[in-house]
Structure 1
């Protein structure tokens, strides 16, 4: 039902545009913006693949030592302002999908109505506001690093929700609040044979700001189904219960920035139970058009990923720089060293035996590796 609301949002946008055109079409109500990343990643690990957060099948390492598929993308965003209270947003992105293709997909498609300047409602497909950088995680030009820290942002890789969200802004003394609540669902194609379906997704979020300091609090729950919304099925007797909490802090007075995020994911399920904590801390300093930064990130599972099959524990250390070499363009470079404890494959994509789900003999868990990333980011 809720997924139909996204289609209705698009139809509503089209219908409203058609009615405006029939009367007196004014193209100035629409604003078009875009963004893109041309990226390349080198991995020193040649028996497993680094594909980044999400469900990308291709990446650096096992597929190719150097890959352009991890970070490269192109996005277009259209904003329609139909009145002082009614707006609509459509964002389309072309990036590697679960099939390794670059077919464009609709990332956002929603209608927003401002009941008051501080109280608004959106209907349709919106960004899942789980993290500090949820709205901009795909816009390489806007985030401090080459990509959002994998250890944290891969805990909940779902980036959008089809449904309803409500936002309310208010002030308590010197602290500004943006309180948000959502209810929706999401269907994610993981590969040709496996689809994850999240239903009854709800969450509450509070972004607090005091001057240059931003603090974000997150709590979410959802019911996760494998391949069907019906239970029981061959994989599930009951839907998996998912609980996600996060805390993010970012301070940026201009000359420098410091921040970090902590997140905790619990999945209660007969086969795919997970209990994982992750965090990162980061800081950077700006020298004119050049920004240098460091990041330390940690991914620490309390349980293994599948029936005791593998361990994803890892800690990484990254050193990077951003150069704003011309208006609306920047160049980013990053070196990342990933430390894997004995027996852990970390967040690498490792070829596995189809029966035992153990890594194939070519891959040795617990071997550290390095990543070198280079990007050109732009907005228009």
Structure 2
């Protein structure tokens, strides 16, 4: 089984069911994952920041379980409307279905396409297929990279220009718009004045990606700990300056990513680098991952190495020195960690796969990484945590 960047389009095309044999004006498709992650430490829970609410049980189904259905409406030879509805646990602990895609597409020429509406925000190499776990070898994309930007929606417009030059397929993908994200409890975040450009090259088994985006970040925290901290800072000397670093509006933010994928007949190699820089409200950090797999019939065993490193905290070390509450706030927003994982993908049939992955993760000294404490006194930083993840992925 090969996992190319075009997997999303292939899945939709291969599994779309026409309304009648005489027409393919309306097609339907879907995907789903039933996943579970077990954390060996009873006082910690695995979390995907901006994706789901922190769990309360040692076995958590929320981080990876998802169900999505999609309808494509052909509007003549050049136009198409797409609607995708998705249900999964949100940071506010609800499962309310929402429109994850809702856009109009128009082909200006065989090489160029213009789209407008709700699109996928293409921050990373695999953003377009990130929700379809079946398209990837892992149970989930490495959080050390893909956790750097939990924003998934792009409300705006984008443009694709594709051209083949000799043996190389070239794709240019500029985009602009805005994005919104719910945070745990009553928190909310958004990106405005968002604009970016992705460049993709593919030839045979090799795919290359590079991308850059800039935006203005708005942030409002709503969890109980941060709300109490903000209230206390209101009356503290110099508190207003610290609050302005923690939340507010119009902070300059940028994202950079670069990656490659080699998916040959026998070997699979995937690597990616990403960096986030924020003037306020979020820390600045970069991450990378490298995956090596081997195709053996329906099985793909793999090894994965990943790392996230913080380059600057939300509140400077000078301001947070000797202030446990400020240090806790910084650590809880810092995903710095390193991990090593071993996994297996088993293609049960052409439209279903079973996956299992064991990972050993060590959080940095001033970081919670991808974990959340069950009790507020639990130490999360500078710990080694083992996790076991399993999933069944389907497309239809």
| Relative contact order higher in (CA < 8 Å, ≥ 6 apart) | 2
What's the offset of the Cα at 1:127? 0.8
Q: Does 1:329 align with 2:339?
A: no
Give the secondary structure class of the aligned counterpart of 1:288: coil
Residue 314 of structure 1 contacts residue 340 of structure 1 at CA under 8 Å; is this kept in 2? yes
Rounded to whole Å, the distance in 1 between the matches of 2:39 and 2:314 is: 23
Match of 2:133 in 1: 140
1:258 pairs with 2:274: no
**Secondary structure class of the residue paired with 2:57:** coil
| Structure 1 residue 307, shift from structure 2 partner | 4.9
Q: 1:256 to 1:156 in 2, by over 3 A?
A: same
- Aligned ranges 1:78-227 → 2 under 5 Å: 78-227=71-220
| Corresponding residue of 2:69 | 76
User: Deviation string for 1:328-377 (max 9, x for gaps)?
Assistant: 1111000000022334322223468xxxxxxx323252111011011111
Q: Deviations over 1:293-324 (max 9, x none)?
A: 11101000012244552253210111000111
Counterpart Cα distance in 2 of 1:273 and 1:329: 38
Listed one character per residue, the Cα deviations across residues 50-107 of structure 1 (whole Å, up to 9, x for unaligned) are 1225341133xxx111111111110001111121100111111100112212111110
Q: Distance in 2 between matches of 1:341 and 1:379?
A: 37
1:57 aligns with 2:64: no
1:375 aligns with 2:391: yes
| Aligned-partner Cα distance in 1 for 2:73–2:204 | 30
Supply the RMSD in Å over aligned alpha carbons: 2.0
Q: Secondary structure at the match of 1:135?
A: helix
Q: Extract unaligned runs of 5+ from structure 2.
A: 1-21, 222-242, 318-326
| Cα distance in 2 between the residues matched to 1:133 and 1:141 | 12
- Mapped to 1, the partners of 2:185 and 2:361 lie a distance apart of 30
Report if the CA contact (8 A) 1:322-1:332 is conserved: yes
Q: TM-score, normalised by structure 2?
A: 0.81
2:34 aligned with 1:34: no
**Corresponding residue number in structure 2 for 1:288:** 297
**Aligned residue runs from structure 1 range 220-239, under 5 A:** 220-227=213-220, 239=250
| CA displacement, residues 161-203 of structure 1 (integer Å, 9 cap, x when unaligned) | 0011111112334322110111101121113322101111100
Higher helix share: 2
Q: Which runs of 4+ in 1 moved over 6 A?
A: none
The answer to whether 1:318 aligns with 2:341 is: yes
How far apart, CA to CA, are the structure 2 residues paired with 1:361 and 1:236? 24
Partner Cα distance (1:218, 1:87) in 2:
26
| C-alpha distance in structure 2 between counterparts of 1:376 and 1:326, whole Å | 12
Change over 3 Å in CA distance of 1:162–1:28 after alignment to 2 = same
> Bigger CA drift: 187-196 or 259-268?
187-196
The 1-side partners of 2:355 and 2:49 are apart by 18
Shift of the 194–306 alpha-carbon distance from structure 1 to 2, 3 Å rule, reads farther
For the residues of structure 1 that align with 2:129 and 2:248, how far apart are their CA atoms?
37
1:361 matched residue in structure 2: 377
Q: TM-score, normalised on structure 1?
A: 0.84
Q: Is 1:53–1:153's contact at 8 Å kept on the other side of the alignment?
A: no
Instruction: Note if contact 1:294-1:319 (Cα within 8 Å) is conserved in structure 2.
Output: yes
Number of aligned positions between the proteins: 339
Checking the alignment, whether the CA contact within 8 Å between 2:50 and 2:182 is kept in structure 1 is no
Q: 1:49: Cα distance to partner? A: 2.0
- For 1:68 and 1:186, the matched residues in 2 are separated by 26
Q: Which moved more, 1:69-78 or 1:219-228?
A: 219-228
SS in 2 for 1:287: coil
Distance 1:147 1:83 in 2: 37
Could you list the per-position Cα deviations for residues 114-133 of structure 1 after superposition, in whole angstroms to 9, with x for gaps in the alignment? 01011110010111111121
- Residue 7 of structure 1 corresponds to none
Closer, same or farther: CA 341–28 of 1 in aligned 2, 3 Å: closer
